[in-house]
Amino acid sequence: MSIKDHISNQHNNTTRQYEMDLARAIPVFCLPFVHTVIECTPVERIYDPIPFFFNIVIGQPLGAPMFLFVMGACIHYSKKNLPTDMMRRGRLLFFAGFLLNIWRFFIPYMTGYAITKNADKFITPLPYRVFGNDVLQFAGLFFLLLGLLLHFKIPEKWIAGLALVMSVAGSLIRHFDTGSTALNIALGHVIGTEDTAGLYVMSDFPLLNWFIVPLCGYFFGKILIKVEDKGAFYARISPIPLVASTAFFIIEYFYGFGQMNSGRTLLYSENCYYHALWYDALAYAAFAVGVLGLNFLILKHISRRLHAFIISLSKNITHVYIIHWFLVVMSTNVVLYAIRGTQELSTGPTLLLSLLIFLIAYPLALLWGRKSKKG
């Protein structure tokens, strides 16, 4: 029996896809841990076991790439998935990214400067923090471009080819410095830019490098919605991508290439992830397919209460994301720095602070969600 035998010509899976909820719930639960660990861990300890786990294992293949893949797959399950809907959503997400930058960087950094008068720490990075791109801006550009391509009825095989060309081009152009801060920031939304000194991240998720990841999710979702027996489908399609991509990531780590390349600064190593190479992007997509199959199996063996918590996290991912960022930056860059003269912490206090941030952010996200529904 081949994979095609599990797929019909009609939509069979039109209800909520719980394996995708779990794929979103894991990173949203870990967001405070990932970002607090990054903010509080000295450079020389960033590859210690616990920082490595949150920064590399959770923060990379299980983090943004998984979210972006699922985002692409869920297009087919949305009631508003026409090209015009995608472009409208893209515009909203793109500008929401800058509002988030004001919320999580401009306000805390100006507060920190008012308290400490340290311009080097709080004022100098502001242009990059406020106008630089992150996952929301990228998501906006993805929806804008995909919506535009579908609006003009570009064949999907051509879209796939374009995505591959973009990924290869992004791999060749990455770590590019124009010599101009403003131009680096502007171009950083499309290609991977950084300053030559390696002091600032200009572009965290450039369009050329990352477009292929949610597009793979889009094509996967188009297949999944027609699957008749998801258990048999995942059993056949998921194991090999899961094992192969995991093995690939391990080999990358031990041989120090691709996203695990290390260079002149820690930032250079970070940008090897943010400015993903084409083979890393495809490995992320393969890993996502494998994890979704594993999630489908896991969900058969968990309690109803835990299942409800997973769905709640998934539904409130945007609210948790926005709230936790403010709490992370304010508590580490402002409060800790103002009190101690450093935001660095040992591993134990860092994890406690991370847990505290989640325990504050999650209830606030639920409250926000309820207020939004009433409004």
What CA–CA distance (Å, rounded) separates 299 from 290?
15
The residues facing 227 across adjacent strands are 7
Give phi and psi for 176, each to the nearest 5.
-90, 135
Could you read off the pLDDT of 43-93 as tens digits, one per residue?
888 889 999 999 888 988 999 999 999 999 999 999 999 999 999 999 999
DSSP 8-state class, residue 103 = I
Could you read off the pLDDT of 231-270 as tens digits, one per residue?
999 999 999 999 999 999 999 988 888 777 765 455 556 7
Give pLDDT, residue 255: 85
How many alpha carbons lie under 13 Å from residue 78 in its C-beta half-sphere? Answer: 14
DSSP per residue, 262-293: --SSHHHHHHHHHT--HHHHHHHHHHHHHHHH
**Three-class secondary structure of residue 59 per DSSP:** coil
What CA–CA distance (Å, rounded) separates 167 from 113?
39
Element (H, E) at 336: none
- 9 pLDDT band, cuts 50/70/90, is confident
Could you read off the pLDDT of 96-118 as tens digits, one per residue?
999 999 999 999 999 999 999 99
Nearest C-alpha neighbor of 289 from the set 78, 70, 143:
70
pLDDT at 156 over 90: yes
- 149 pLDDT band, cuts 50/70/90, is very high
pTM for the whole structure: 0.95
